Amino acid sequence: MSRLLWTFAWAGVAVWSLFAFGAYGLVDLIGGLVARSADALASDPETVQRLFGLLNALKNLGLTAIVVVWGLVSLCLLAVPWFFDRLAGRAVAPQPPRDPRFIDLAPDQYSRFDPPPGPPRQGPVPRIEPRR
């Protein structure tokens, strides 16, 4: 059930992203056209420059708002399956099958072999001749 919720949520994010991308392009296109035609609204060059700056700022504000709303709605869409996952709890991951040739021991169940304390080995060290 959880996987199905996540699938629908990601599909919703994909559809929402396409819609937001279209809105972003539309605002960018129309805002750019309106800002570039600021000289049709006034004849004084300083007024045209201020109008262009104002209209361009409004376009950028709209584009920023679209990106912020896209992110918030995407997070909300993905929060639904996340919430249901946390509500239902996680299932325990299945353990891999154990190899019967090995015995698992906890760290306190084994020890390293240390040679018995005592004097070193007595006697001469044998000399090993090289092979010919």
Condensed to tens digits (0 to 9), the pLDDT of residues 36-93 reads 888 888 888 898 899 999 999 999 999 999 999 999 999 999 999 999 888 887 666 6
Tokens 């015995």 sit on residue: 103
Whether the predicted pLDDT of 25 surpasses 90: yes
The whole-model pTM stands at 0.61
Q: Does 130 reside within a domain?
A: no
CB 34 within 8 A of CB 116: no
Q: Does 78 reside within a domain?
A: yes
Q: Rounded to an integer, what is the distance from CA 106 to the centroid of its chain?
A: 36
Q: How many structural domains is the chain composed of?
A: 1
Q: Does 124 reside within a domain?
A: no
Domain that holds residue 83: 2-88
Condensed to tens digits (0 to 9), the pLDDT of residues 105-132 reads 777 777 666 666 777 667 777 777 888 7
Q: Does 34 reside within a domain?
A: yes
Q: Does 56 reside within a domain?
A: yes
Q: Does 36 reside within a domain?
A: yes
